[in-house]
Amino acid sequence: MARCALCKGIFESGIGKCRLKNSDAEICRECAALLERKDMIETGVAGLYLEETKREVTDWMGGLQFRVTAMQKSMGRGFGGARVPRIDFRFTGPLGEEWYGRVQGDMQLARCKRLVKG
């Protein structure tokens, strides 16, 4: 068991634990999700994880969850011109705005960014 450095709540430490940036202080899943959400709002970019079968995008711990509204699979080009699977998708972000994400390669990590209305 560990104590969250932010909310001071007790949580089970171990696999999947989160740490504050530039610190060894551990934080709980809920506080990690709040920090990720805040960062998404402030910066307009995020590294999230696509759960393709659930049509959902989440943070690493699963505390943030956003429903995918559109998804398209294709083949892209990787290093050296190798063909790799690519998934482009859209989802509604934390303040109701539209976001775009892309997974390239055999993984779940998605580079996401808020779309600018124009």
pLDDT digits (tens, 9 = 90+) for 20-33: 777 778 888 888 89
Which ranges of the chain have pLDDT less than 70? 13-17, 118
pLDDT value of position 16? 60
User: pTM for the whole thing?
Assistant: 0.83
Overall size of the chain counted in residues: 118
Tokens representing 26 are 């551990």
Tokens representing 57 are 């995008």
pLDDT value of position 76? 84
pLDDT value of position 82? 84
